Structure 1
Amino acid sequence: MSDEEIKALQDKLAETESKLEESVKHSREWESRAKANKAKADELEQLKAEREATAKELEERIIPASAGQT
């Protein structure tokens, strides 16, 4: 193998490694975003459940109170 061929292979290897590092960095960014979105989605589900429980509790208080007024 000639020096030129070795140099070409080394350049190709360096380019490939650079692309791999860039891909890994990009992947980690999206992983972080996905984790943040998951946390927000979990928080939203918790708030919805709390709202539903509060609405049910209020409904249980209001219906008997209004039934007693008629």
Structure 2
Amino acid sequence: MNNNDFKLVQRNTDERDKMWNELAQHPLNNGDAVCEESVTGECWQYMGTQGGKHNFRHRCHPKTGCRQYLDIDAVTV
């Protein structure tokens, strides 16, 4: 697989657990991988993996009130 190919990491894999744990540890998230926004219920969404990065989006992060994007380094892609 080419590093620039789009893929989805399967559930119940070490890579999936690792990427969500790393997302939680990002300073924006304070240990919370979900970060549910209290009014809208929005939370982090895994958008896919491409270019050696797992891509995440939050439509209304509770800490910023804004749309946020984060990329987490992929290990076993």
Give TM-score, length-normalised by structure 2: 0.22
Q: Which has the higher contact order (CA 8 A, sep 6+)?
A: 2
Q: Give the number of the structure whose residues are more often helix, by fraction.
A: 1
Larger radius of gyration: 1
